Chains A and B, each alone.
Chain A
Amino acid sequence: MRPAPDETRPVFRLMVALGLAGLVILGVGLAQFVTFEPLGQHTGVSARIVGIFDYDRVSHTVHGGNRDHFRTNEAFAAEVDWSTLPPDLEVGAAWFSGGFAIDAGGVGPATAKDLLARPVVPVNFGARRFPSGRYEFVVERFSGGRPVEVLARKTVVVLGS
């Protein structure tokens, strides 16, 4: 006579299947991570962000002191000292908002010497008011037209007015 099947077998099998499905999901996530964060790209080079300042949309210049928060109706821009980087290094800088989902303007990619004339990088949403939230400014090194390393970053907060 065969012994009765163990009543925990169906739940055991379903649990193991769920665990395997979970491994597949996390594996896909890991593959995406490695694709966009390629390993072995660390050069040790770092860029210098002078600061985040009020921005004059007419003269395209920055003024005032370094700030870490702004109002939605205040224009602001980052100033980068490109001269601290090797002249032929392919670099760029960009503003991000909404958890990196929204590109909010930037410069590059180009060589550091080409960007010497463009130290000011304003936030650009195509509107005069900015949505409130956290804004991140990132200077990146590029290779083959893709960002491969972060050289500097700074965060500011835009508060609702």
Chain B
Amino acid sequence: MVEAAYPRPHRPPRYRLAAAIGGGILASLLLGSLIDVFALGSGVAVLDLAGLLVVGLFALGTWLVIRAVDHEPHRRRRHLVRAAIVIGLALALFFFAINLLNARLNLVGVLACIPTTGLALFLIRQVDYNEREPWRLVLVAAGWGAVVATTLALIFESLWSYTIDAGLIPGPGQAVATAFNAALFEEVPKGLAVLLLFLVMRDEFDDVVDGIVYGAAVGLGFNFMETVVYMSVGGLPQFFIRQVLGLFLGHATYTALIGAGIGVARQVPGRWRKVLVVAAGFVAAIAGHFTWDAWLWYFPHPSDPALLLLSIPAQYLAMTGPFFLAVMALFMLGLRAEGRALEEQFVAEAALPGGAVLPGEVAMLVSPWRRIDARFRALRYYGFRGYRWTRRLQRAQLDLAMERWHRARREIDSPLEAELLLRDRVQAIRAGVRPPT
């Protein structure tokens, strides 16, 4: 055996000892912080805990970047995407810790709001019955609302209070300024999430319906964190007001208006029209939020709890109700336009020789109820595998019809191969082989 002239230096045992000590320190920091947080409610320990996890995630992100550029450049894209996700998680965790401190470590509030907000997200995703948005994007939208938008709002609302508000005369003028502060500095950070999704995830952002779904998800995330903060001061009544009465009639409605504007811009021709409709969404959302806060000047809430039970629902109905109805109208119009367009595309696809849709499938594909019925028939005859196969086939056919719709309207950046790929995907599912990705 030939020995190398410069053998790779081995790691001496003392390194292992040092690593064990380092690991022990980290473990004790983690354990001690966990005990401090849960047993003593320590705010400093929350920062310790978040800091440790953030450092760990940043280290992992850096390692992934090194792998992308140095160790495995042929897998660069995959490693960079993973690095972006990990670093994004680190930032989100950091912002969540800040918000939790602001909410006086109201962990009970966090646990109480997860089921209600989760249910609302589920329902909003379900009503988009033609082409449901992927959970990962819906959760990213809600996460942005809960941690990024709330942090931005906190910073800019504080700046406004210390600069503008401090010089205003108490009374109607200052009440208007306060309402404007909340509306502007909460709606813009929330709207930015929808705008980013529109710019980055165009494939999953089809029309006004998708915009409303993403906007509402961001609003629900914001409402989640706001409820946790308010519950830390106001307790259970705040939960009832914000997670029951105002679950949909608040931030979800306002940000859905922004999403609707961006969703319409996705399809409307002409640059100025796109800018106009996006601006209209932001203005409508800011105005809706503004009316909610301005109401308190004209009709301050009574201190009598019985009267409060009347005044708060009245405020929701009078101030947010009309905006909620507008969102509903936009959603229904969007679903109707989407349904008609998909029907046209299914018919056209079925007319193609070797098309991905059979003529007999068109009537089933255009109706959400018939699609469900077809899946349950497959369940009865072929079991759960049959159900899953039918659902995958229907989704692939809907994706294809949606792509055809965008191409017919000249709204796609991607070349025709994307449509061919989707057609191959349908054929592959039908043939029972693994579809192309």
Contacts and interface: CB of A to CB of B under 8 A. Distances in A.
Interface of A: 6-8, 10-12, 14-16, 18-23, 25-26, 29-30, 32-33, 35-37, 94, 96, 98-102, 131, 136, 138, 140, 147-150, 153
A30 B303 CA distance: 29
Contacts of B268: 8, 12
A11 B277 CA distance: 10
A28 to B, nearest CB: 9
Contacts of A8: 207-208, 264, 267-268, 337
Contacts of B297: 99-101
Contact of B291 (A11, A19, A25, A100): A25
B221 interface: no
B177 A12 contact: no
Given A19-B279, A21-B284, A101-B297, 9 more contacts: A7-B337, A8-B264, A8-B337, A15-B280, A16-B277, A19-B283, A99-B297, A100-B171, A149-B169
B167 A32 contact: no
Contacts of A37: 168-169, 173-174, 177
Contacts of A98: 300
Interface in B302-341: 303, 326, 329-330, 333-334, 337, 340-341
5 contacts: A29-B176, A32-B172, A100-B297, A138-B169, A138-B170
A140 B159 CA distance: 23
Q: Top 3 closest A-B pairs, CB basis?
A: A19-B280, A36-B173, A22-B287
B217 interface: no
A150 B169 contact: yes
Contacts of B207: 8
B263 to A, nearest CB: 8
A18 B294 contact: no
A100 B174 contact: yes
Contact of A23 (B175, B179, B277, B283): B283
Given A22-B283, A23-B283, A33 B173 contact: yes
B147 interface: no
